[in-house]
Structure 1
């Protein structure tokens, strides 16, 4: 039987990753801005991928 691997994630998995990232930041004293949360929501919904999510955050803070 052949098996395949997929790197696709479900909305539930993406939501869990975002929740963990937010929690990690909060443990360090950081907060997520409304713009950052909007980007995260787009990622969770599957409208953007993780590369785009990171690119937006880096651009927002001048880290490009």
Structure 2
């Protein structure tokens, strides 16, 4: 039997809000987002990559894989 996974489609506006909230949260903790990180976030907002890819790129950038 095949296993189905639920996916939730998001709009660009929802993705943009999520990115803004994540950046703000990090800034509240004293962190900053690099230019490369912001570029990846824009790829996510535009829908060219999904959230899993965004996390994967970030983890790879900081050698967390």
Q: Over the residues paired in the alignment, what is the CA RMSD in angstroms?
A: 1.2
Aligned residue number for residue 27 of structure 1: 28
Matched residues, number:
60
| Residues 1-64 of structure 1: pairs in structure 2 closer than 5 A | 7-64=8-65
Distance 2:7 2:36 in 1: 30
TM-score with structure 2 setting the length: 0.89
Misfit runs of 4+, over 2 Å: none
Unmatched tracts of structure 2, length 5 or more: 1-5
TM-score with structure 1 setting the length: 0.91
